[in-house]
């Protein structure tokens, strides 16, 4: 997920970004096995790609990987980004009250959509060391977590649009997929 329209080019050589039109974005990811020896390499590559493009969240399918891993730059920490690595995340509670906010996605460059999602959630997950963790989030962080967990189930943000809103975008989506 992206914060604002100003993505900056990466300075290192991160893994390739998977964009809309690639079937990798539609597959359901598998759980990360305990002690997966390649997990840290995946996470490091995801961080490089996300930070290089000024993103605030990235899911493994966006780098072509089928494991249930997301990385998030916690927006609650002011100028000092807090790095969150969520392995096998599960949204355990959702606030019935919904809040709409503008979202972008690194896999849909230049496309920003106003979507309504539950305004607060509780997410359970394993950290990079395999320890179970849980936190409650609201506002922007809750939005990022929901957006990224969707990716692990092959769901992308345009899937939350009504049929007619999506029809209005068909040309832009076609152009994105054709690049
Ligand atoms: Zn996304």
Q: What CATH number has the domain bearing residue 67? A: 3.90.45.10
Query: Rounded to whole angstroms, what are the CA distances from 25 to 48, 81, 106, 132?
Result: 19, 26, 12, 26
Could you report the per-residue pLDDT of 24-38, keeping only the tens digit for each? 999 999 999 999 999
- Of 82, 92, 102, 148, which residue is the catalytic one? 148
3-state secondary structure of 84: strand
pLDDT tens-digit readout, 136-148 = 999 999 999 999 9
Query: Which residue, 21, 113, 8, 2, is CA-closest to 52?
Result: 8
Q: What is the pLDDT of residue 10?
A: 41
Question: How confident is the model at residue 6, as a pLDDT?
Answer: 43
User: What is the number of domains present in the chain?
Assistant: 1
Ligand 1: distance of its center to the CA of 177 in Å? 15
pLDDT at 97 (0 to 100): 97
Per-residue confidence at 81, pLDDT binned at 50, 70, 90? low
Assess if residue 152 is contained within a domain: yes
Give me ligand 1 centre to Cα 22, in Å. Answer: 13
| 11 falls within a domain | no
Mean pLDDT in residue range 26-53: 95
CA of 132 relative to ligand 1 center, distance in Å: 24
CB-based contacts of 70-76 (< 8 A; 24+ apart in sequence): 70/145, 70/148, 70/149, 70/151, 70/152, 71/43, 71/46, 71/47, 72/141, 72/144, 72/145, 72/148, 74/141, 75/3, 75/140, 75/141, 75/144, 76/141
pLDDT > 50? residue 71:
yes
The two tokens of residue 89 are: 């995340």
pLDDT digits (tens, 9 = 90+) for 88-138: 999 999 999 999 999 999 999 999 999 999 999 999 999 989 999 999 999
Report yes or no on 30 lying in a domain.
yes
Q: Is 8 part of a structural domain of the chain? A: no
Catalytic status, residue 138: no
Q: Do 121 and 56 touch, CB atoms closer than 8 A?
A: no
Q: Which residues pair with 117 in a beta bridge?
A: 99
User: What is the chain's mean pLDDT, rounded?
Assistant: 91
Q: How far is the CA of 2 from the centre of ligand 1 (A)?
A: 8
């Amino acid at each position: 997920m992206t914060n604002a329209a100003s993505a900056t080019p990466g300075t290192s050589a991160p893994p390739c970004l998977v964009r809309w039109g690639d079937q990798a974005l539609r597959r359901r990811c598998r759980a990360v096995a305990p002690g997966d020896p390649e997990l840290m390499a995946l996470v490091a590559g995801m961080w490089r790609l996300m930070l290089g493009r000024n993103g605030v969240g990235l899911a493994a399918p966006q780098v072509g990987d089928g494991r249930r891993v997301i990385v998030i730059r916690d927006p609650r920490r002011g100028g000092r980004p807090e790095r969150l690595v969520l392995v096998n995340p599960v949204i355990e509670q959702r606030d019935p009250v919904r809040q709409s906010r503008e979202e972008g996605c690194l896999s849909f460059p230049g496309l920003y959509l106003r979507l309504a999602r539950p305004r607060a959630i509780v997410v359970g997950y394993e950290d990079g060391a395999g320890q179970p963790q849980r936190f409650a989030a609201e506002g922007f962080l809750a939005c990022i977590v929901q957006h990224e967990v969707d990716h692990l189930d092959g769901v992308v943000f345009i899937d939350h649009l009504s049929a007619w809103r999506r029809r209005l975008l068909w040309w832009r989506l076609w152009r994105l997929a054709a690049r």
